[in-house]
A and B are shown apart, each in its own frame.
Chain A
Amino acid sequence: MGAHKLLFSELKLWTSGRGGWIARLHKGIGACGKASLSSCSPKVCIVGSGPAGFYTAQHLIKARQDVEVDIYERLPVPFGLVRFGVAPDHPEVKNVINTFTQTAKHSRCSFYGNVNVGKNVSITELQQAYHAVVLSYGAEGNRSMGVPGEDLAGVYSAKDFVGWYNGLPSCRELSPDLSCETAVILGQGNVALDVARILLSPIDILKKTDITQPALEALAESQVRRVLIVGRRGPIQIACTIKELREMVNLPDTRPDMVAADFDAVKEALKDLPRPRKRLTELMLKTALEVPGEKEQERRSKASRTWGFRFFRSPVEVLAEPSHSRIAGIRLAINKLEGSGEGAHAVLTGEVEDVSCGLVVSSIGYKSLPIDPSVPFDSRKAIVPNTMGRVKQAAGLYCSGWLKTGPTGVIATTMNNSFDTARSLVEDMDSGTLDVSAAKPGSQSISALLEKRGVKPVTFSDWEKIDNVEMKKGESSGKPREKLLTVEEMLHVAWT
């Protein structure tokens, strides 16, 4: 299977794009591997090497044969949320890395890891060196619940919890306390379901994935047996998608635990729903209300772990133990719905309910942060204000991915969003709105700047060394890779 995949991506490398392979041959790729194009070629800088950055680069390189693209990334390793966000038990979703790798190895694309834009180099300096700068650095902050007790030990953002089990260096010290029986997750999107699934998956499944070793060990000792996934509104407004719900329903050694009353009025609403929403709701109804057959009944009775949705609940306070050092539970306000469908909103009824728990994971959304005071930023929406990817009131500045539209959507959503920005940029180059006639120094001047400041970039082949070390380490334990967990280790491998 591995060899087949390798050949498959090799084929794509050879055949993708209009005569890509042949064109490179004609350009005379020598031992150095990079084409020598004239210094007058348009140079674009992309900040961020997740899906947004790579898909923007991919489209730009394909659309114009003269564009050179440099991708800057703060970490030594590329791929952003594909590496640090996608759940370890969803390896197929990470196949997009093969396409990104192709792009990175293209003669007109260069990767510069370990460069902190905003700190090591400013946006203004990048704009001086490049004809255009595309901001694709995503959303590294999270929306806070804004309730008392949010900072107590035992409360984590989903972003940090996911970062922890996926080896994001800044989340290494999270050490979540899994010694409680009940965990409450606020939010019902796919990230919330990922967290629930990782908390409840049998270790035998997890140990074959690229989940980090410390997370695997912590989960092996975990006492968590019950996970509640809480949302403000009702079943019809749930934000997760059916694949993730099906995975919970089919998760070995678990059984569902729902509140039947939460589903009153849902059955009648079914017939008017579009197919995707209808199928998702039907699966939920079936799981919550249908009396299971004998085999399923037996499976459920043997299950040692439970999971369930709780609807019409909003957090109002995280309750502390008498010592005030840890959480004892969470106080939830009870809502009712006004309106229906996607537009329905939750209204407080005045009633509250306390749920005992030892772990709270807040999965209510990621949030973009401003990178540089010179870049316009809409702090209400937490995005860079733009029209079709063109940053407002900032010529030569573009944005793509979650920074452009807000932090929702799967990889394909980001792909389309990034292609859209690339189209705008190409339009501007073609029409002359963006002046690319004067030569710009591009990475030459930026590399000199970085060297002066004692910053050494990690190249794509440096990353490949890290990649190989991780895969090799994983081999002995039957994992696809064993991720390096600190920037220091990554740099050490990159530069040895």
Chain B
Amino acid sequence: MALVTTLRRLVQNSLREYSRKASARWQRSFTVGTQPLRSDNKVTVNFINRDGEKITVKGSPGDSLLDVVINEDLDFDGFGACEGTLACSTCHLIFDEEMYKKLGPITDEEMDMLDLAYGLTDTSRLGCQICLTKSLEGMVAKVPESVADIRQTKDGSS
């Protein structure tokens, strides 16, 4: 399993492009199961999935929320179809008011695609455009339904 984990991290490394982060990860990959030596540059992100379950993961400053979902292999159906190029609305996330205000400015281009999202709210954003900073530590992002699910209203299960 260690081999797999190491290989997995190696692949993730090659995407990072920044040697400082890469070296921190490399160190961690050889200490699987122990506390990472330098955890203070990580940002905790909580996702509420479509079943209402809370999933807590960590990302690095500069990662987009879409990066986090992909890197942590979070299983949200159809999330990020256009791979973060502002050509779809499938990475739609909903925040609470306070966190929404901290997220920074939204461009016309993002709003244009966000406008197509199902269940659009005033505190909605596209995950591929939100980049992590330390000030967003502990953020909660809700993954909304992507379509009206008839099944859910029928018998409560999805």
Contact = CB atoms under 8 A, between A and B. Distances in A.
Interface string A416-447: 11011001000000000000000000000000
Given A93-B82, A95-B85, A279 B111 contact: yes
Interface residues of A, number: 41
Contacts, number: 90
Ranked 10 nearest A-B pairs via Cβ: A92-B85, A276-B115, A92-B87, A416-B147, A95-B83, A243-B112, A93-B87, A15-B73, A242-B112, A95-B82
Nearest to A59: B77
Secondary structure at chain B's binding surface: helix, strand, loop or mixed?
A: loop
A96 B70 CA distance: 15
Nearest to B89: A412
Contacts of B14: 7
A12 interface: yes
A261 interface: no
8 contacts: A4-B17, A5-B83, A7-B14, A8-B15, A12-B70, A242-B112, A420-B147, A423-B151
Interface of A: 4-5, 7-12, 14-18, 22, 55, 59, 90, 92-93, 95-96, 98-99, 241-243, 246, 275-276, 279-280, 388, 410-412, 415-417, 419-420, 423
Interface of B: 4, 8, 11-12, 14-15, 17, 70-71, 73, 75, 77-78, 81-83, 85-90, 108-109, 111-113, 115-116, 118, 120, 146-147, 150-151
A346 to B, nearest CB: 25
B57 to A, nearest CB: 13
Query: Chain A interface secondary structure, helix, strand, loop or mixed?
Result: helix
B112 A419 contact: no
Contacts of A280: 115
Given A16-B73, A93-B87, A246-B112, A415 B81 contact: yes
A280 B111 CA distance: 11
Contact of B11 (A14, A90, A242, A416): A14
B116 A241 contact: yes
A242 B110 CA distance: 11
B4 A22 contact: yes
A141 B156 CA distance: 39
A98 B85 CA distance: 13
